[in-house]
Structure 1
Amino acid sequence: MDIGISPIITDTDNAAAEKARQLQRQTKGTSTGLSQQQLKEAHKVSQDFEALFVGMMLQSMRATVGKDKLTGGGHGEEIYRSMLDQEYAAAAAKRGSLGLAPLIEKDIIRQESRTSVKKTDHQE
């Protein structure tokens, strides 16, 4: 039982829909008003902060463990352990083990988009 209702789509409807899709693609990711460079910097800073935080945690955890009697310790081993902990922290932050970097990045973008709006308001 066909009611006989057919969708009527005009060329202007298609053109308007295509124009809306193009605008959406252009503004995708830039709705914050920040450039791609600023977004990349926010991402890097957030990962660096998470790496610093994880590094501090590892340093504190290492301080609770006694000295290794097998290798003899010494200044060289302390430096090596410190560098190893930094690399562990950087790898953990890059992998997103704690999940702090995305939260920090989101907050940085939010704050920067507010300041960019204020700067443009004052310039007008």
Structure 2
Amino acid sequence: MLPLATFAASAALQVGKSIAGNIAASVTKTADDTTKAADAKARKASTDFESMFLEQSLDRVAQSDGTEGPLGENGTGGGVYRSMLTKEYATQVVKSGGVGIADQVYREMMKMQEAARAA
């Protein structure tokens, strides 16, 4: 009976290791997925911030341009069109690589997250 008990204990040990390995892999995968999701959210927030900043900057430039040119008078229609145009300009600048604001904001967000985890 002793050899049978040894065999059963060995089998139980292997099953336990397999279950523990599966649980560890699942936890690691979940942590990786959570990290990737948080990273993607931080990246999106930083690019959205850069886009908003550029939109505000370009809006100020467009307002100082006067009433001449393709936008026409500064009435309601011209204001709406100018707003849409500056938003699209800002979006395209960010899509083409931006001016570096998003990267800096992203790095600062990551530093703040690491500091919060360490505390």
Normalization by structure 2: what TM-score? 0.64
Deviation at 1:114, TM superposition (A): 1.4
Paired positions, count? 87
Whole-Å Cα distance in 2 between the matches of residues 68 and 101 of structure 1?
33
Identity of aligned residues (%): 28
User: Which structure 1 residue ranges, 5 or more long, are not aligned?
Assistant: 1-25, 119-124
Whole-Å Cα distance in 2 between the matches of residues 70 and 113 of structure 1?
48
Q: Who wins on radius of gyration, i.e. which is larger?
A: 2
Structure 1's consecutive aligned runs of 4 or more residues displaced over 6 angstroms after TM superposition are none
Superimposed CA distance per residue, residues 88-123 of structure 1 (whole angstroms, 9 cap, x where no aligned partner)? 1112122223111111111101111211232xxxxx
Which residue type is aligned with residue 79 of structure 1? V
Normalized per residue, which structure has more helix? 2
User: Which structure 2 residue ranges, 5 or more long, are not aligned?
Assistant: 1-27
Bigger relative CO (Cα 8 Å, ≥ 6 apart): 1
Deviation at 1:71, TM superposition (A): 6.2
Normalization by structure 1: what TM-score? 0.61
In structure 2, relative to structure 1, the CA distance for the partners of 1:47 and 1:75 (3 Å cut) is same
